[in-house]
Amino acid sequence: MAQDYDKIFKENIEEIILPLAKKLLDIVPERLEEISVDVQRTIERKPDFLKKVVHKDSDKDYILHIEFQLTDEEDMVYRMLEYYAMLLRKQKIKLKQVLFFIGKGKAKMVQTIKHDKLEFSFDLINLQEIDYRTFLSSQKPEEVILAILGNFGKEKTDIVIKNILQRIKDTTQPNLKRQKTVKQLEILSNLRKLQKQIIKHLETMALTYNLENDVRFKQGIEKGIEKGIEKKATIAVKNLLSSSLSHQQIAAALEVSLDFVENIAKKIKK
């Protein structure tokens, strides 16, 4: 199940990182730049988000490293330190590391290491402590769904869910993107044990997308059927070509055109 949550954040990372950086980290980058660093060679997983924050004054540049974490891991501080050491060695500029905890409650993981000649720490933000309206106000549906992980305060859960679904409706068209957004919301809602309530409200709101009414989907189905029929007819023609039947007789027997039979016969001869 954790893989489902990871997939959502990886699919939406580019859309949600800048709003999160601005709202929660007070970062307004002038420009983000890709960096080529293969840290997977020695660490079991790839960083969730890694970009160079570029300024007009290059002395202000730094690497922004962000992780999304579902479980409250005791050894997370060591993993973050490993990332830091490798990135610093390669890039030789400052780093800002932030971990967003998306699990339930408040993470209690260690954030700091202090030894005689080493002091290291990373920033930790618990999404459940952030007012859900911080995400709800976004124009990006990828960010809106994060509201389900936020702090509802004294607001009733049913009201919060209605607000989130309405916002998805306001920020998407009735198409496959809306369908995907709603599905992602359902998956994230499992982290707060709210999926049943989400489904109940979806049944009363015109949010789910009827794929069967999609023109493109219908065209795809029709093409698929046509290809299936054509494939079967091709096999049948090939089998009958080895018989004593003429091309015209085969075409009549299979209810296909004479050209269709002759084209297959030519391909076989080649």
DSSP helix/strand/coil, 44:
coil
Question: For the stretch 28-49, what's the b/e string if a residue is b when 16 or more beta carbons lie within 10 angstroms of its beta carbon?
Answer: ebeebeeeebebeeeeeeebbb
Q: Are strands 49-54 and 112-115 parallel, antiparallel or unpaired?
A: unpaired
Alpha-carbon span 240 to 208, nearest angstrom: 48
**Per-residue confidence (pLDDT) for residue 161, from 0 to 100:** 93
Collect all residues with Cβ–Cβ distance below 8 Å to 162 and sequence separation of at least 6: 201, 205
Q: Are the beta carbons of 254 and 233 closer than 8 angstroms? A: yes
90-135 tens-digit pLDDT:
888 999 999 999 988 899 999 999 998 999 999 999 999 999 999 9
Mean pLDDT comparison of 7-11, 18-22, 51-55, 205-209, highest-scoring range:
51-55
pLDDT of 256 higher than 80:
no
pLDDT score recorded for residue 211: 46
Please tell me the predicted confidence (pLDDT) of residue 10: 78
Task: Give per-residue pLDDT as tens, 127-172.
Answer: 999 999 999 989 999 999 999 999 999 999 999 999 999 999 899 8
The average confidence (pLDDT) of the chain is 83
Task: State the helix-helix crossing angle for 247-254 and 258-269, rounded to 10 degrees.
Answer: 120
Give pLDDT, residue 223. Answer: 65
